[in-house]
Structure formats: structure tokens, C-alpha cells
Chains A and B, each alone.
Chain A
Amino acid sequence: MSKYLLTEDQRDCLQEITNVAMGQAGDRLARLLDVFVVLSIPHVSVLNPTDIAMTLHSLNREDSDNQVVHGVCQGFIGGGIAGEAMLIFNGTDFNDLASLLKYEKAGDEQAENELLMDTANVLNGACLKGLAEQLDSHFSFGPPMLLGQHCNIHDLLVGNNMKWNQALVVEINYAIENHQINCDLLLVIAEHSIAGLLQKLDYLLD
């Protein structure tokens, strides 16, 4: 399926540069948070709206371990590339998050939401800044949107909201040593925003 969006070479190249970007992100996060961040090797795949819809569907519900799954989305655009970073928190302990960001304690629901957004912003910012540097460009970011709060998940799912057929998705798993924090970062770049990325990849491949 991936052959419709990018070639094998382009895919390998993207995987490689995201890997380098992740290394830099890990370094920045370690300096900011004083923790060791375990980052998986990025996985590049091509998904369609149904796949994303399934992920959205699982949000704000309890998973098999009775942990509520949260999601935060943040748009980015620059250098002919545009997309959205979706950070999925699987079974995250709010007190752990609070201690990670050096807040006093988790507190009420508003404080919890703020924690989710701040964490997403920090992780997304670190990772996308690295990626932009590798691609020799600069991204602008929108504010993080807490799914289910800043926008209604049901509204996203109905009415064929996603107006694209295929999207390039880079998936990275974050775990933070000695903290009960585990999240998946999905960088979703829809087909119509991919040209700039392919151009940059071809340039790197030459």
C-alpha cells in the first residue's frame, strides 16, 4: 500500500531521519526533565481515515486494565509539510506526570488536563523540532487540543470529517524511566501535505 505515497527508499530515509530526530529529542527532554526517556525506533506506515477513527474511538474510555486513554492533537506546518501530531496516553499516572513536569501534584480535572497538554506540547515540540532540523526547515505549531475537551470526538468521527484517503504516519513510543508514563506519538501527514516532505527526502537521497 505504501508504494502509493512513498517509495521504499523514501520510507527508509524518513525512518532514518526520524530516528536521528528522536535521539535529539531524547537529549533535549533529558535536559529539561532530568529523566531518561526511552524512545522506540520510529515506525513509518500508511494509514487511512478508518485506522485513525479506530484510535480516536478508543479515547476517553477505559482500556482492558481500567485505565482511561487520553489523546492530545497539535497541528504543525512549515517547509511544504503539514500535519498533526497525536499523542496517546496509555495508562498514565497523573501524579507521575505532575512529578515529571515538576508540578506540585496532579490536583483537579482542569489541572490534569493542563498536565496532558503541557506534556504533549513538550514531547511534540522536542520531537518535531528535531525532525524540522533534519529536514532543514522550521515548523509553526498550533495550540494543543485535548480530544474530548477542546473538540468533540463524536463530531470528528461522524460526517466524514477527514477529507483524505491516505496519510503517512510515523509512530513513536515514549516511555519514561521510573515513571508510569507510556505514550504513543503519531505524526500524521495527509496525502495533500506530503509533497514538501518527499522533495526533502529525495534531496537527502541524492
Chain B
Amino acid sequence: MLKKAGDSIFNDVHWQMDILQNIDVGLVVLDEQYKVVVWNSFMQNHSGKMPEKVLNRSLFSVFPELSEDWFRHKAESVFVLQSATFTTWEQRPYLFRFPHYRPITGTAEHMYQNSTIIPLPNTKGEVTNICVIVYDVTDTAVNKIAQQIATEKLKNLSRTDHLTALYNRGYWEQRLIQEFKRFERYQSPCSLIMMDIDHFKRVNDNYGHPTGDEVIRQVSRAIREQVRDLDIPGRYGGEEFGIILTNTPSDGACVFAERLRQKIERMVVHFDGKDIHFTISLGVCTLNDSYKSYKEWLEKTDQGLYRSKEGGRNRYTFME
């Protein structure tokens, strides 16, 4: 009877050791000096370091790439608070750099890891050892990263006008509202330009729509070349464009408008064997406290554009 009970305890321990050795999770037990006490098969196989090279040695001497300061910070809270702490791949891709090992279905250069560090109290309830549990989350990480990239692409697509690669009207108007609100709060100068290609209908009628599209594309390119990083250019309608000039007072906005006007005037679009010349008209308006809404500001700028048209086109009008 006794012998049998002894056998069963022996078996239990034996099985538990087998399970811990073979489980597909990394297990590392450390003492207070951060010396390795337990090193299971997962750790052995992925690191290529045999237990005799690791046991009783400081974790930081075995893995010099592991930041000692950072790890001590993490582990200290486990010793003192006697509660677990966690690391996630989003914050730190890995604790131990293990190259990815599957030649066919492996999708990353290294293993992404989540880890949990748990306290191991002794029989007196003092925490003299901690256990680092390392999970391989490469597949989850790779999927999530791919999803993030796809979402980012979709977001850009939904904001962009396909013909011109400028912002589309919906997104551009959102940004206009944002800049209007920003002015209300911070009063930093902001100007708006609305512009339109002169006699665009004639271009379409005389040369055909593909030529018209090419003209629109070239104007957009000219706009993209001239704007600075923080300016916000958008295609407002067919041949109408809006440019928000952030941090730009009236004189700067007028210089911008005049430079763009000259640039387009000098431009020649070669398409289908023909040379096409054309011009643009612009309205410029700098934001001040008298505008109660972004729409008022936009309308005022549009009035400037109409005045330029009425005044003979190929010019800009600044609206006080």
C-alpha cells in the first residue's frame, strides 16, 4: 500500500516535470540575484543554449541584449508586491531574441513574445524566486500588424481624390472645420485659397475629357509642389480646388496665390500631340474673429474667386 502511494507521488512529480519540460511555453525561474534556476526545453530549443551553459549564471550575462535596468524594474515589483507583471509584444516585441524557426510558414524575422513574470513564494511566504513565462505570439502579432497596415491604407484611400491624389472634398472640409476651431482656440493666423481653372469647359469641349483630366492632374501636381508640409490642399469640385494655409497671415497667402497663378500661366500641358495653355483664378481670405462659422469663411473666399473671374480671370483677389 505504502509503496503504491509512493509510486503515485513519484509518478505525479515525474509527469509534472515532463509537462513543464515539453509545454510549448518558455519557463525560466530566477533567484534574487537573477541567476537561472530552471530552464525548460522551450527555452533551450529556441535559444540554442543548453541548461549547463545557462543554469546558475546571471540571466543578463547569458542574454546581454536584455536590458538589465528595464528587467530589474519589472521584476522588482514582483518581488516587493508579490504580484505578477506582464510584458506585451506591442510594447516590446520580445524579451529574448529568438529567430523565427519555421522555414515555410514562418512570417516574421523573430519570435514575438508576451510574457508574464510571477512570484514564487517559499514555504515561509517570502518571494525568493520569480518565474518568467514566455508565450510565442508571432502569428497573432503578424496578423495584427498586417491588419493595421491595411486599415492605414484604407484610411488614406478614403481621404484621397483618385484623379489628383489631393484630399477629397469630404476630408478636406473636415480639416477646414478643424482649422477653424483651432483658430478660435489659439488665434494662430490661417488663410484659405479657393481656385478654379479658367474656361475649363472649353478645354473639355475642344480637346476632350481625357485632356481635361490631364490638365486637372497637372494643376494638382503644381499645387502639391508648391504647398508646404502643414498646408492642406484638396479637390473641392470638378475643376475647383481649396488650399488651407496654416500659420499663414494675409501677405504670405497673397504671395502664395500669386506664385501659383504665375506657375500655371507658364505651364504647358502636352497631351495627344497638342500644347494647351490655361490660367487659374483665385480668391484669398485670412481668418479673423468676424467669421462665425467655417462656412462664412469659405463663402467669403469663394466671393474672392468670383470677383477674380468677373475682373477678367488669371488673377487673385484678396478679401478683407
Contact = CB atoms under 8 A, between A and B. Distances in A.
Interface of A: 28-29, 31-32, 101-104, 110, 113-114, 117-118, 121-122, 125-126, 128-129, 141, 143-144, 146, 149-150
Q: Is the interface of A mostly helix, strand, loop or mixed?
A: helix
A32 B84 contact: no
What are the 10 A-B residue pairs with the smallest beta carbon separation, nearest first? A125-B83, A143-B86, A114-B91, A32-B80, A129-B83, A125-B81, A28-B81, A122-B77, A121-B85, A126-B81
Nearest to A150: B90
B292 interface: no
Interface in B44-80: 69, 73-74, 76-77, 80
A66 B190 CA distance: 22
Contact of B88 (A101, A117, A122, A128): A117
11 contacts: A32-B81, A101-B73, A104-B69, A117-B86, A121-B86, A122-B81, A122-B85, A125-B84, A125-B85, A143-B114, A149-B90
Nearest to A29: B81
Interface in B89-116: 90-92, 114, 116
Nearest to A114: B91
Given A122-B77, A125-B77, A150-B88, 11 more contacts: A28-B80, A32-B76, A104-B69, A114-B91, A117-B91, A118-B77, A121-B86, A129-B83, A143-B86, A143-B88, A149-B90
A128 B114 CA distance: 22
A94 B91 CA distance: 16
A141 B116 CA distance: 10
B77 A129 contact: no
Nearest to A120: B86
Contact of B81 (A102, A129, A146): A129
Contacts of B77: 32, 118, 121-122, 125
Q: Is the interface of B mostly helix, strand, loop or mixed?
A: mixed
Interface of B: 69, 73-74, 76-77, 80-86, 88, 90-92, 114, 116
Contacts of B80: 28, 31-32
A114 B90 CA distance: 9
B116 A126 contact: no
Contacts of B74: 118
- Quick one: which of B76, B82, B83, B114 has the most chain A CB within 10 A? B83
A114 B69 CA distance: 15
A60 to B, nearest CB: 15
Nearest to A146: B90
Contacts of B116: 143
Nearest to B70: A103
A148 B169 CA distance: 28
A126 B83 contact: yes
- Quick one: which of A101, A121, A126, A149 has the most chain B CB within 10 A? A121
A29 B80 CA distance: 9
A102 B76 CA distance: 11
B83 A113 contact: no
A32 B92 CA distance: 23
A143 to B, nearest CB: 4
Given A110-B91, A117-B91, A144 B86 contact: yes
